[in-house]
Every structure is written in C-alpha cells, then in structure tokens.
C-alpha cells in the first residue's frame, strides 16, 4: 500500500464523523454560504439587527439568513485578527476546514497560501471546486487529511487555526501535531465550545450537543493542560459566550434551525458551556 492509499480515518469513531459530514447537506450551512460564496461551518458573533425579524414575510427568511451569515463571517474575522502579523510568503493551515470559508477569508486578507484539511471527501471536493471558480486555487488548497497526522513537513506553517473543530479529536494528539508543523514562534488560534469544569462535569445540554454532532466536547481546562504539555503558551484568551448568544437566538427563530439551538442556549445560559477563543504561541 502506498502512502497515498493510507486511510485518512484511523478509527471507527473518525469514520463515523467522516460519514456524518460526507452526508450532511444542512441548509444552515449551504443556504448561508450561498449568500456570497463563503461556506462556514461555525457559529456567529455579535448582535443581530432586530429589523430582520420585522422584514415582510416573503423576504424575511432571506433577510434572517443573510444576517446570520454576516455574524458567522464576523466570527471568522475575529479569529483571523488573532493570528498576528502574516506576510504574503507565509503559509497557513485551516485544520478542520469544512467547506472552506475561513481559508478563503484568510487568503483574501493576508495574500498568502492557505491549506485547508478535512476528513470529509465531500467537503474537500466542494471547497476545491469553489476556489477554482474564484480563481484562487493556486493559493488555497483543500486536502483530504487527518488533522492528527497531516503529512505536512515540520515547521511548515506560520499560523494554524481550528475553527470549531477541536471537539472531534484528542487535544494532546492535536497539539503535538500542531507543534510539529508550526514554525518556532508561530501562532495558533482556536475558537471552540468547551464545557465549564468549574460547574462540574458535562451537563445534559452539553451531552445533547455531543450526540447531535457525534462530537466530544472538552473541558475548558483540558485545552490549557494540553497546550502546556505541548509547547503552546497563551497570549490572548477571550470568553465569547455573551457575544454568541444573539446568533443562537436569531437562529432559533430562523427557517434553518436544526433543533440543536435549544441545548446550545441552555448550556450557555446556565453557565455549563463557554464559547472561547484562545490564541497561543509555539515556543
């Protein structure tokens, strides 16, 4: 078996995640992406414009979707704000890239090469088709790769991020691989939902999210332990919980709600769950 044939998923669990995303055609992802071609697989930040709820019925749905998309794009912008100075000759990694939205935004902002990776063949194909259309496929490339074992060379990237994709993997394995492929002094950023080890174990609402996405939400403390063990030192940590709640309130009222809105809102409001940004340097 050649290296190329080495399977991307290594466990039954990983395969179930790949299957989920290969099959997924959720309007909440597709219809929002259709707005401007930035397909996101993450949530939004900031207050929504309450006027969209008052839009006349025939355009109300479209207005809400555009507004939700605006908040998701704002979230990706906040993430990119924390990457530090990136030069056009640098290279970035979008680990768990979904259909590719954040990668495109990074390229447009910094002018540099971006690699996105996903274990979903469907997502990778979709994203590559999209950047070909945009004519930026020379700079933005999507790969069918396991983020725990990417095969990229050591010291390749100046910046790496996980935009809501760390809950599918073991954090120690993840940060070991990121430490390997980042340059010394490179920057790592993640935005993630994490449960609050201050209030105790995973609440029912958190387990409901886990079962919806077949994911494994980590404790907030697990991030800092795994970073400390793998040579990552935080430089900024921001609790975004309050800033993401409006997005969920709007989504609950939208036509593309999937049912997972209620556990998210419960978990955020009861304090058992945080929406956290962590920016850290690799030392």
Interacting residues toward its own copies by CB under 8 A: 10-14, 16, 168-170, 184-185, 197-204, 207-208, 210-211, 214-216, 219-221, 224-225, 227-229, 233-239, 270-272, 274, 281-283
* β-sheet bridge partners, residue 92: 114, 159
Task: Confirm if 197 and 217 have CB atoms less than 8 A apart.
Answer: no
Instruction: State how far the Cα of 131 lies from the Cα of 138, in Å rounded to an integer.
Output: 9
Residue placing its CB nearer to its own copies in the complex, 52 or 160: 160
Q: Which is nearer to its own copies, 49 or 222 (CB)?
A: 222
- Smallest gap from Cβ 198 to its own copies, in A, equals 5
* Least distance between its own copies and beta carbon 138 (Å): 22
How far apart, in whole angstroms, are the C-alpha atoms of residue 18 and residue 14? 6
Please, what sign has the CA dihedral across residues 51, 53, 55, 56? negative
Q: Which is nearer to its own copies, 87 or 135 (CB)?
A: 87
Query: Residue 119 in contact with residue 144, Cβ under 8 Å?
Result: yes
Cβ distance to its own copies smaller for residue 53 or 213? 213
- Closest approach of its own copies to the CB of residue 159, in Å: 14
Going by the DSSP 8-state scheme, the letter that residue 219 receives in this structure is B
CB-based contacts of 172: which residues, under 8 Å, 6+ apart?
Answer: 226, 229, 230
Kindly state the smallest distance separating residue 99's Cβ from its own copies, in Å: 22
Q: Which is nearer to its own copies, 124 or 167 (CB)?
A: 167
Min dist. Cβ of residue 268 to its own copies (A): 14
Other CB atoms closer than 10 Å to residue 25's CB: what's the count? 7
The secondary element (H helix, E strand) that includes residue 20 is helix 12-23
Which positions ≥6 away from 211 have C-beta within 8 Å? Answer: none
Distance separating alpha carbons of residues 237 and 277, to the nearest angstrom: 6
Q: Which residue number, 120 or 128, has a Cβ lying nearer to its own copies?
A: 120
Q: Nearest approach, Cβ of 242 to its own copies (angstroms)?
A: 12
């Amino acid at each position: 078996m050649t290296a190329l044939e080495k399977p991307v998923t290594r466990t039954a669990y990983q395969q179930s995640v790949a299957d989920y995303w290969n099959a997924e055609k959720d309007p909440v992802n597709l219809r929002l992406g259709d707005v401007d071609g930035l397909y996101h697989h993450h949530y939004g930040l900031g207050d929504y414009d309450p006027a969209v709820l008052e839009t006349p019925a025939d355009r109300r749905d479209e207005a809400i979707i555009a507004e939700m998309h605006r908040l998701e794009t704002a979230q990706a912008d906040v993430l990119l704000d924390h990457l530090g100075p990136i030069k056009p000759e640098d290279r970035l990694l979008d680990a768990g890239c979904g259909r590719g939205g954040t990668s495109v935004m990074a390229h447009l902002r910094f002018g540099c090469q971006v690699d996105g990776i996903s274990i979903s063949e469907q997502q990778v194909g979709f994203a590559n088709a999209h950047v070909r259309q945009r004519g930026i496929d020379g700079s933005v490339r999507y790969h069918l790769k396991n983020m725990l074992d990417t095969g990229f060379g050591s010291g390749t990237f100046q910046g790496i991020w996980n935009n809501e994709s760390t809950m599918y993997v073991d954090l120690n394995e993840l940060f070991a691989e990121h430490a390997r492929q980042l340059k010394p002094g490179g920057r790592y950023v993640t935005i993630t939902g994490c449960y609050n080890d201050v209030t105790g174990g995973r609440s029912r609402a958190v387990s409901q999210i886990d079962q919806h996405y077949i994911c494994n939400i980590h404790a907030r403390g697990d991030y800092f332990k795994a970073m400390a063990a793998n040579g990552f030192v935080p430089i900024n940590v921001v609790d975004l919980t309050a800033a993401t709640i409006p997005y969920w309130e709007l989504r609950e009222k939208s036509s593309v709600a999937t049912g997972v809105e209620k556990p998210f809102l419960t978990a955020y409001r009861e304090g058992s769950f945080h929406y956290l940004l962590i920016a850290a340097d690799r030392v």
